[in-house]
Chain A
Amino acid sequence: MASVDSQPRFGQSVKGLLSDKVGSCSGDVIALTRQVLKGSRSQELLGQAARNMVIQEDTILHSEDSLRKMSIITTHLQYQQEAIQKK
């Protein structure tokens, strides 16, 4: 984590040096947090998982539709069988 303020500054007051140091420390903490998130590759994996889920959803809906049609056909067959048995 390279700091921009590594070179000594002459002629600056203590207040200015302190504020620069605080700013650089905050920037380092933010960069560290972002690097940790980037290193975990969570965004890539989650994006890939979401894409696969979206692709799969179409297949799931088609399968569900087919099953519902099959249940309706089965019910019709039952009605026909009952009619045959009555006669």
Chain B
Amino acid sequence: MAAIGDEASAMDNSARASAAQSAALNPASSGGGSSHVEAPEEAAATPPVAPKKPHTNSDGGVETAEEAVEPAEPDINELCTDMFEKMAIFLQGELTATCEDYRLLENMNKLTSLKYMEMKDISINISRNLQDLNNKYASLQPYLDQINQIEEQVSSLEQAAYKLDGYSKKLEARFKKLEKR
């Protein structure tokens, strides 16, 4: 694409060179030195943004020409720097988004691990308390066994009392029957 651009500029240069030569010849044929002065003035009166007039050099029968270059803007460096800075900021923002997602996940994991550590402490306390309770209940076990024995004995006593009560009632009924005779 650069080669095609160079070829186009070379064609433009050759066209302008031929036009300049024809312009130089025409005033000479018409006559008068003032026209020579006028032609360069007209050429000088062209707008400043036009490309620089290439000058031809004939060295050993070979014509060379310089490339037509547009005048560079004075603040092009600042614009380029600004462009690259903004590009860097944009790319950094794109990558920072993913980094922030990872940071969020890391924070969530840390909070969950803290919660699990609290739960671990609570469960350690519970297990210690239950072990103490088991030991204390083990020391109270003989008394609980005595209580169970007493309850069994009381229930058997109650049964015996009921039987005695029934027998005494039968005995009373028989005695009354015998008394009536």
Contact = CB atoms under 8 A, between A and B. Distances in A.
Nearest to B1: A8
Contact of B91 (A33, A71, A74): A33
A40 B101 CA distance: 14
A16 B123 CA distance: 74
Nearest to A46: B101
Interface string B103-143: 01100110010011011001101100110110011001000
A41 B42 CA distance: 66
A85 B133 CA distance: 12
Contact of B136 (A30, A50, A81): A81
Contact of B119 (A11, A67, A75, A81): A67
Contacts of B91: 29-30, 33
Interface string B54-97: 00000000000000011000000000000100010011001100
A53 B122 contact: no
B4 A30 contact: no
Interface in A55-87: 56-57, 60, 63-64, 67-68, 70-71, 74-75, 77-78, 81, 84-85
Contacts of B1: 8-9, 17
A14 B5 contact: yes
Nearest to A54: B108
A75 B112 contact: no
Contacts of A40: 98
A71 B105 contact: no
By Cβ-Cβ distance, the 6 closest A-B pairs, closest first, are A74-B129, A46-B101, A67-B122, A42-B98, A81-B136, A8-B1
Given A40-B98, A71-B129, A77-B133, 12 more contacts: A14-B5, A33-B91, A37-B94, A50-B108, A56-B112, A64-B119, A67-B122, A70-B126, A74-B126, A74-B133, A75-B129, A78-B133
